Amino acid sequence: MFPRLTLPGGITPRALARTILWTALVLPIAARAQERRAYEGVVSWKKKTIGTMILVEIDSNRAVSGWMRLGKLQPIEPGSVVEDGVEFRAAGNTYRIDERRGRIVYSGPDGEGDRLLMSLTRLSGSLRELVEETGPSRGQIAALEVNGRRRDLRYGAPALWKNQGQPFENFSRLEELLGKDLSLWVADADLRTGRIVAVEEPQGIDIPLKASKKPKDNQEKK
């Protein structure tokens, strides 16, 4: 019989192979555990009806965090995933999103209600072009290539959903992301068009709140 081969530390090749296989199977699952959802609708704020945007992150334990626009972006207190949606607190109010009904039910010091809510569509692709729309429906169009198909998406100053930290409420520098692969959260999405509500910050990039100043050349300094 051949002697049993062991690696440094007493690990056998078979045990090493099992460890590598476990890592290959489990780590991708852990990486996919975090989920994002986004919504747009109306709620009450200081006894008035306002438009809102809700950016939700769900971790591997199904705990809910994120941001909600109430006058300005407010952090979501730790919430949870429930049947057909999520529930959480923000700025002292309680919210429950029912995705099946397309409603948001809320109560608190700012008012209460049961209102329509729209789930946003996440589109991932390469940002190819920014153009000015002409004619009666003038505006700005971002051309996103999704699986080889062009989507012409209207935009103004969407939110920038940061990888770390608070999102930027209004991000007007989409030109900095031209040619990059990214994900957009879109309202009224169909096979050709839609309206950009939020932009996910691409992985590996930390976009500053303000654009960096261009260095002046020596002639300008003189």
Strands (E), the chain: 35-45, 48-58, 63-70, 72-82, 85-90, 93-98, 103-107, 113-119, 121-133, 139-146, 149-155, 159-161, 181-187, 193-200
State which of 90, 119, 148 marks the end of a domain: 119
DSSP element (H, E) containing 28? helix 13-31
Count up the domains in the chain and report the number. Answer: 2
Domain harbouring 46, CATH code: 2.40.128
Task: Tell me: do 128 and 82 sit in the same domain.
Answer: no
Same-domain check for residues 56 and 84: yes
**How does pLDDT run across 33-70, given as a tens digit for each residue?**
489 999 999 999 998 999 999 999 999 999 999 999 99
CATH of the domain at 139: 2.40.50
pLDDT (tens digit per residue) in 82-111: 999 999 999 999 999 999 999 999 999 999
Do 40 and 90 share a domain, yes or no? yes
Q: What is the pTM of this model?
A: 0.80
pLDDT value, residue 217: 57
| Residue 100: domain span | 35-119
Task: Supply the DSSP symbol for 131.
Answer: E
Q: Does 95 reside within a domain?
A: yes
Identify whether residues 109 and 144 lie together within a single domain.
no
Is 66 inside a domain boundary?
yes
